[in-house]
Structure 1
Amino acid sequence: MSQSTLDEEDLLGEAASEIRADVEENMAAARSELPSAEAIWAVDSENTLGVLNSLKSALDTGDAAESLRDARKWFMVGERADAFEDPDALEAELDEVAALIETVEEAQERVGELASTVPELRSDLEEANVGGADGDAETETEDADETEE
């Protein structure tokens, strides 16, 4: 083997190590951007809308999708260069992170929709005087007006 072949093998081995490190770092970055279980479970607010807005904020994935994209990019390069001992396991891990990001983003979207619906619903219920003391008080006032006439 010539000296240039050894240098190329060394460089290829070095590149493979760097690619593995890049995939792992980007995947770790994607995971770190995801909200913690505690952040989405424990919210502090005095009303439903505040709870929903807190939850929506807690469900922010930040740069997780971008970090995952970078991890996938380096994974593809590394896979073609045969840089991984078990590429199937690593790809499965990337898929798990992608599915988790998608689930969190969908949940955030649903919470956002609900947060915009709740004030409208409250307003509609107030206008319709459905349930509660307001509806009863108004009925009593109408009854009193009718008996005075």
Structure 2
Amino acid sequence: MSQATFGDDELFGEAANEMREDVESSLSDGWDALPAADDVWETDADNVLGVLNGLNSALDVGDAEDHLRDAKKWFTMGERADAFDDADDLEAEISDLEDAIADIASASEQVSELTSTIPSLRGTLEEAGTDDEAADADDETDDEE
């Protein structure tokens, strides 16, 4: 069958289906690239800093942003070409993936801030504890006299 026997409408419909499949595939790959819930929830760390470092590593979205970009690119192309009969489901899933990536990025920023703050806080508390111990030792010496 030669290419000339295909009608424009048939070719457009086929292209629209392929575009939708590309969007759906990119969205699926985007979801798959996000961290697993257990990776974010469970830890093997012995201290808070280890937990935070592990969590920060787990909050990597990997290639999810690239897959989202591909999905949005093909979705936009399909929308402008009026290729989709009903694209509300695709638009909603794009929005959901975008929100998930933003939530993970926000959590990662918060964890990074804590990761840099905790060692300084520990040092401050250790110094305060040393001062308290010295004051307690002085009080005990005064009591003995």
| TM score, norm. by length of structure 2 | 0.86
- Counterpart for residue 87 of structure 1: 87
Quote the Cα distance in structure 2 between the aligned partners of 1:72 and 1:33.
16
1:16-65 deviation per Cα after TM superposition (whole angstroms, max 9, x unaligned): 12211110111111111111111111111000000011111111101111
- Counterpart for residue 7 of structure 2: 7
Change (3 A) 1:39 1:68: same
- Counterpart for residue 56 of structure 1: 56
Which of 135, 140, 144 is the aligned partner of 1:139? 135
1:68-87 deviation per Cα after TM superposition (whole angstroms, max 9, x unaligned): 01100100111122332321
Q: Which blocks of at least 5 consecutive residues in structure 1 are unaligned? A: none
Which letter does structure 1 place at the counterpart of 2:105?
E
Superposition map of 1:1-149 within 5 A: 6-129=6-129, 137-143=133-139
- Quote the offset at 1:109 in angstroms: 0.6
- What SS does the corresponding residue of 1:46 show, helix, strand or coil? coil
Quote the Cα distance in structure 2 between the aligned partners of 1:47 and 1:100.
28
Alignment size in residue pairs: 143
- Quote the offset at 1:94 in angstroms: 0.6
- Quote the offset at 1:120 in angstroms: 0.6
Between the aligned residues of both structures, percent identity stands at 49
Which letter does structure 1 place at the counterpart of 2:135?
T
CA RMSD in angstroms, aligned pairs only: 2.3
- What SS does the corresponding residue of 2:102 show, helix, strand or coil? helix
Q: Which blocks of at least 5 consecutive residues in structure 2 are unaligned? A: none
Deviates more, 1:73-82 or 1:95-104: 73-82
- Quote the offset at 1:148 in angstroms: 8.8
Q: Which runs of 4+ in 1 moved over 6 A?
A: none
Quote the Cα distance in structure 2 between the aligned partners of 1:10 and 1:95.
30
Quote the Cα distance in structure 2 between the aligned partners of 1:5 and 1:80.
27
- Quote the offset at 1:146 in angstroms: 5.7
Which letter does structure 1 place at the counterpart of 2:43?
V
| TM score, norm. by length of structure 1 | 0.84
- Quote the offset at 1:123 in angstroms: 0.7
Which letter does structure 1 place at the counterpart of 2:109?
E
